[in-house]
Amino acid sequence: METPPGKERFLRLVEDNKGIIIKVCHSYCRDKGDREDLAQEIIYQLWKSMHRFNGQYKFSTWMYRVALNTAISFYRKEKRGAAVVPFTGVDMDIADTSGDGREADSHLRLLQQFISRMKDLDRALILLYLEEKTYAEIAEIIGISETNVATRLSRIKDKLKSDFSNISKKAYGRH
Amino acid sequence: MEDIELKNIWKEYDRRLEEARVLNLQSWALNMQCFETLQRQKMKSKLGRLALVKIIMIVLGLIWVLFVGFLIVHSLEWSKIFFVLSATAIFAITLYAVIVYIRHLVLIHEINNSESIVDTQLTLARLQSSTIHIARILFLQAPFYTTFYYTPAWIASGDKGFWLVTLPVSLLFAVASLWLYRNISWKNAHKKWFKVLFNSPEWNYVVQSVGFIKEIEDFKQNI
């Protein structure tokens, strides 16, 4: 069983898994300022809960639990009911890529936009699925059965595919 | 579109994260040498704020309970029987609310973000929505604020003002508070009278928390 890490190890673990914080923040907050607040809150909650990490789960699984719990609570308090605003390049807070990635970039933004319209718990589900967590891991993080994970993910994926399909039809319609 | 395509689109995210050497969002935290700074963030935490509200309510409630208790002890005589009875009812109801708030405070400190999303969010939403329960209880005090100045002599005198105005007003308050006790519930949160009565951002949040409980319960079902 692993012992709770000290400050330096904690920083290293957070650094190694920083993608989790960024993706969770982007999935639950549209405004850059809110995202920074949420990132601070997640790191604080991770540090505060560190003594509870006992190696029963992988660090990333534990981190997803804390990050998603913090994000859902934060999002519900701050932003529930706000209009959905599409992500922009500036909002990504990530360096611009070359022109080659433009199509992939546009798909990614669309995907983020579709995810941002989902209910809080569905959003957590699809985020974990896209992060290639197994159904067993997702069930453990979310706290529902594997069968329930499979059923719900199937519906969410169908919805996402349909959203992409509708966008494509509209794009072709314009030409 | 296949499932794998969705995952490939998402992988673009990782590629961009790799390309971005500076990650603005949390770089401040990663560079921090001293986590004491984070301790100062504690009251910024949403749960910290919720706890602060509860602490304020507990302190105010205790001050009120002590004050009312003091008045009761110094009014124990027959001529002030209605004052004593009314104040005792107010004392008991307020004390109950204080005890519930203390219990909430304990629950807030026990909330564990490392637990599963469904369990943690359900506990949190139940905690937030419990304000509705306290409001119902506190409304039961209302009629006693209209009876504390009754006296046996006043009732015995047959004063028309008492029988035609004071008593009907007290009865009206009693009926209204009982009606509110029975009807203040998340099931009525959509009704106009509820929205008029509890029209504040904090209350809207409480009502949303109740809706979220329903959402979580549905989510847990494999339907």
Neighbours of A81 (CB within 10 A): 7
pLDDT cut 70: percent of chain A above it: 77
Contacts of B219 in chain A (CB under 8 A): 121, 144, 152
User: In the prediction, which pLDDT does A171 show?
Assistant: 67
Which stretches of chain B score pLDDT less than 70? 1, 18-47, 201-202, 222-223
Q: Is residue A148 very low, low, confident or very high in pLDDT (cuts 50, 70, 90)?
A: very high
Give the tokens for residue A148.
Answer: 């329930």
Report DSSP state, residue A89: T
CA-based nearest distance B94→chain A, Å: 28
Contacts of A105 in chain B (CB under 8 A): 12, 16
pLDDT digits (tens, 9 = 90+) for B162-221: 999 999 999 999 999 999 999 998 788 788 898 888 877 667 777 777 778 888 888 888
The Cα–Cα gap between B32 and B35 comes to: 7
Radius of gyration of chain B (CA): 26
| pTM beyond cutoff 0.90 | no
Q: Structural domain boundaries of chain A?
A: 1-82, 99-175
Query: Furthest-apart CA pair in chain A: how many Å?
Result: 60
B6 and A44 in contact by Cβ < 8 A?
no
The Cα–Cα gap between A15 and A162 comes to: 36
What stretches of B20-116 show up as alpha helix (H) in DSSP? 24-30, 36-40, 46-73, 81-110
B114 and A49 in contact by Cβ < 8 A?
yes
Segment A114-142 mean pLDDT: 92
Write the burial class of residue B11 (CB in 10 Å: 0-12 exposed, 13-18 middle, 19+ buried): middle
CA-based nearest distance B45→chain A, Å: 7
- Tokens 């602060």 correspond to what residue? B52
Report DSSP state, residue A91: G
DSSP string, B155-219: HHTT-HHIIIIIHHHHHHHHHHHHHHHHH-SGGGTTSHHHHHHT-SHHHHHHHHHHHHHHHHHHH
Looking at this predicted complex, what is its ipTM?
0.77
CA-based nearest distance B119→chain A, Å: 7
Of B13, B112, B117, the CB nearest to A143: B117
User: In the prediction, which pLDDT does A87 show?
Assistant: 35
User: In the prediction, which pLDDT does A80 show?
Assistant: 45
> Which of A141, A21, A12 has the alpha carbon at shortest distance from B113?
A141
Write the burial class of residue A40 (CB in 10 Å: 0-12 exposed, 13-18 middle, 19+ buried): buried
Contacts of A31 in chain B (CB under 8 A): none
User: In the prediction, which pLDDT does B2 show?
Assistant: 72
CA-based nearest distance B130→chain A, Å: 16
Contact partners, residue B150, CB within 8 Å, separation at least 6: B82, B83, B86, B162, B166
> Which of A63, A38, A114, A96 has the alpha carbon at shortest distance from B15?
A96
Contacts of B16 in chain A (CB under 8 A): 92, 94-95, 97, 101, 105, 108
Q: Which of these CATH numbers, 1.10.3720.10, 1.10.10.10, 3.40.50.720, 3.40.50.80, describes A99-175?
A: 1.10.10.10
Residue A23 at interface with chain B, using a CB cutoff of 8 Å? yes
Which of B4, B14, B16, B124 is the best substitution to test chain A (most A C-beta atoms within 10 A)? B16
Residue A86 at interface with chain B, using a CB cutoff of 8 Å? no
Fold assignment, A1-82: Rna Polymerase Sigma Factor; Chain: A (1.10.1740)
Size of interface A-B (CB pairs under 8 A): 166
User: In the prediction, which pLDDT does B88 show?
Assistant: 97
The Cα–Cα gap between A152 and A125 comes to: 8
Residue A76 at interface with chain B, using a CB cutoff of 8 Å? yes
pLDDT digits (tens, 9 = 90+) for A58-101: 888 899 999 999 999 876 655 544 433 333 333 335 434 444 55
Q: Is residue A18 very low, low, confident or very high in pLDDT (cuts 50, 70, 90)?
A: confident
> At A12, which helix (H) or strand (E)?
helix A7-16
Q: B178-198 burial, b if ≥16 CB within 10 A, otherwise e?
A: eebbeebebeebeeeebeeeb
Output the average pLDDT for chain A: 78
- DSSP-based helix, strand, coil % in chain A, nearest 5: 75, 0, 25
User: In the prediction, which pLDDT does A96 show?
Assistant: 41
Contacts of B206 in chain A (CB under 8 A): none
CA of A101: which chain B residue's CA is closest?
A: B12
A22 and B222 in contact by Cβ < 8 A?
no
User: In the prediction, which pLDDT does B33 show?
Assistant: 46
